[in-house]
Amino acid sequence: MRKQIAAANWKMNLDLKGAEKLMDEILEQYQEMPDGHQAIFAVPFPYLLMVQDKLSGRKGLYAAAQNCAATGNGAYTGEVSADMLKGMNIPYVIIGHSERREYYHEDNQVLTRKTDLALAAGVSPIFCCGEPLHIREAGTQNRYVEQQLTESLFHLSADQITGFIIAYEPIWAIGTGKTASSDQAQEMHRHIRSVFAAKYGDAVAGSISILYGGSVKAANAADIFGKPDVDGGLVGGASLVATEFVGIMNSLKK
Ligand code: PEP
């Protein structure tokens, strides 16, 4: 059975005190995750060790980076490499978030390099894909997302794709309060799984956790996560409020 995952993306929010408080409030409710469930906290780089320390020894709870460099270590001021994350025992890294694609011009080729470096270091990517509004309005979202995935990931082996994590995040639903309906999410998630099945076979495709992202909250999570191809969520705004994120963790499919 593939993993069901509630992933928090704190983005560039919170001061250190606020980050510690948020983590403590969540951990008061969840000392560990049930079998088959994970909670992942993608936090700003300076907070990684603090979060890692608070999560240490807790089953199913993990820290993640929000990005990594597209190169190995070297003279790249301000960057953080996948090897550095591995050296800190950070198990996950978000790659290809739409804010990175849009504001930092990360294209499918750059994201291929980041993915390869993360995998080579032994840090598991949470690979984001998703279409902007004009693509959804034109009805070509399936082709658009398929291209993002094939260009960045289809050089990987079946072993590397087994158990992979994809986050489908329609850009028009991120931070806008507009959520894709659970049926729209299921339709795209089924399409994504079928794209992987065509290349890697049903067993590999069935092992991939496909998370939905875009204005997920405690109030809509159970409906969205209840769909057969939705394996949890990547959550921005609502992950900054402990009661909201705990509600989202509670909504993972049993
Ligand atoms: C995100 O940034 O990954 C995200 C889904 O944000 P929000 O939940 O705020 O829409």
**Low-confidence spans in the chain with pLDDT less than 50:** none
Domain total for the chain? Answer: 1
Q: Is 66 in the pocket of ligand 1 (CB under 6 A)?
A: no
Q: Which pair of tokens denotes residue 228? A: 């057969």
Enclosing H/E stretch for 245: helix 242-250
Radius of gyration of the chain (CA): 17
Q: Is 237 in the pocket of ligand 1 (CB under 6 A)?
A: yes
Task: Kindly give the distance from the C-alpha atom of residue 230 to the centroid of ligand 1, in angstroms, as a whole number.
Answer: 16
Block residue for tokens 């094939």? 150
Which pLDDT does position 232 carry in this prediction? 98
Give the mean pLDDT of the chain. 97
Determine which one of 99, 106, 169, 244 is catalytic: 169
Task: Kindly give the distance from the C-alpha atom of residue 106 to the centroid of ligand 1, in angstroms, as a whole number.
Answer: 18
Q: Is 235 in the pocket of ligand 1 (CB under 6 A)?
A: yes
Q: Do strands 232-235 and 209-213 pair parallel, antiparallel, or not at all (unpaired)?
A: parallel
Q: Which residues pair with 126 in a beta bridge?
A: 94, 165
**pLDDT digit string (tens) for 219-230?**
999 999 999 999
The CATH number given to whatever domain includes residue 66 is 3.20.20.70
Domain around 86:
4-250
Which pLDDT does position 180 carry in this prediction? 87
**Pick from 143, 144, 227: which is nearest to 180 by CA?**
227
Which pLDDT does position 120 carry in this prediction? 98
